[in-house]
């Protein structure tokens, strides 16, 4: 009888132990889910980003970067040669023309890749976009370019002495080097002073995070020697 009680008690303790373990695991899962999915405060409210686009700008790069920036509370504006729908951007519309851009109101000027950068450079009014970049640089704004975007930086003469990455396009790389840039296309993201570059769509997440870091740190934290 005593041995039967011991066995029964032992079995009950085992079941209790298992139940407690399962309860702990369940609480851990719920707590983990809460920490993972709880609403977070935007890190970058009150900032504004101007995205420069043209026919052929890479939709996925543009959308992926701007979607994350929007979640962080950043105001986004698309600019092109004219207002309205931009060819190749799946129904996206530019809100302002290059003529209407007031550079002083923006914290970041962003250039996605694709064929857009080359179409900007070769456009009869391409100088308007280049002038925006020159003004942004003179005002120490963040200038962020991904994939083929750095090509426009070379056209604007903004890359001399800068560490740059880009898509491994031979012609673009040659123009960047001729402009005085130190180019390493094997690096996914490079930040040098107020200029942030990335080498392609696989670098979108790291590129966007670097833009956010630059915004939250502020220009005063940069020394021109800091880059990833």
Query: Measured on CA atoms in the order 172, 177, 181, 182, is the torsion positive or negative?
Result: positive
Instruction: Return the SS3 of 205.
Output: helix
Bridge-partner residues for 97, per DSSP? Answer: 80
Of 73, 94, 58, the C-alpha closest to 203 is: 58
**21, 93, 147, 220: the active-site residue:** 147
Q: Annotated catalytic, 166?
A: no
Q: Annotated catalytic, 21?
A: no
Joined together, the tokens standing for residue 154 give 């070379």
- Contact by Cβ (8 Å): 169, 148: yes
**63, 93, 148, 166: the active-site residue:** 148
Length of the chain measured in residues: 228
| CA atoms of 147 and 199, how far apart (whole Å) | 5
- Contact by Cβ (8 Å): 113, 61: yes
Q: Give catalytic residue positions.
A: 147-148
């Amino acid at each position: 009888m005593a041995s039967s009680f011991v066995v029964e008690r032992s079995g009950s303790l085992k079941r209790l132990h298992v139940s407690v373990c399962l309860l702990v695991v369940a609480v851990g899962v719920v707590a983990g889910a809460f920490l993972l999915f709880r609403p977070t405060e935007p890190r970058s409210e009150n900032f504004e980003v101007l995205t420069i686009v043209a026919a052929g700008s890479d939709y996925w790069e543009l959308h992926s970067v701007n979607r994350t920036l929007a979640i962080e509370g950043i105001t986004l504006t698309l600019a092109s040669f004219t207002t309205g729908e931009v060819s190749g951007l799946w129904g996206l519309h530019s809100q302002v023309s290059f003529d209407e851009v007031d550079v002083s109101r923006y914290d970041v000027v962003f250039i996605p890749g694709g064929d857009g950068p080359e179409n900007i450079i070769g456009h009869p009014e391409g100088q308007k976009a280049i002038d925006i970049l020159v003004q942004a640089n003179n005002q120490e704004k963040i200038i962020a370019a991904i994939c083929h975007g750095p090509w426009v930086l070379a056209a604007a003469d903004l890359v001399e002495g800068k560490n740059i990455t880009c898509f491994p396009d031979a012609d673009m790389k040659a123009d960047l080097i001729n402009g005085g840039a130190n180019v390493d296309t094997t690096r996914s993201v490079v930040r040098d002073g107020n200029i942030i570059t990335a080498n392609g769509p696989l670098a979108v997440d790291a590129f966007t995070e670097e833009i956010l870091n630059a915004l939250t740190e502020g220009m005063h934290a940069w020394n021109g020697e800091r880059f990833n």
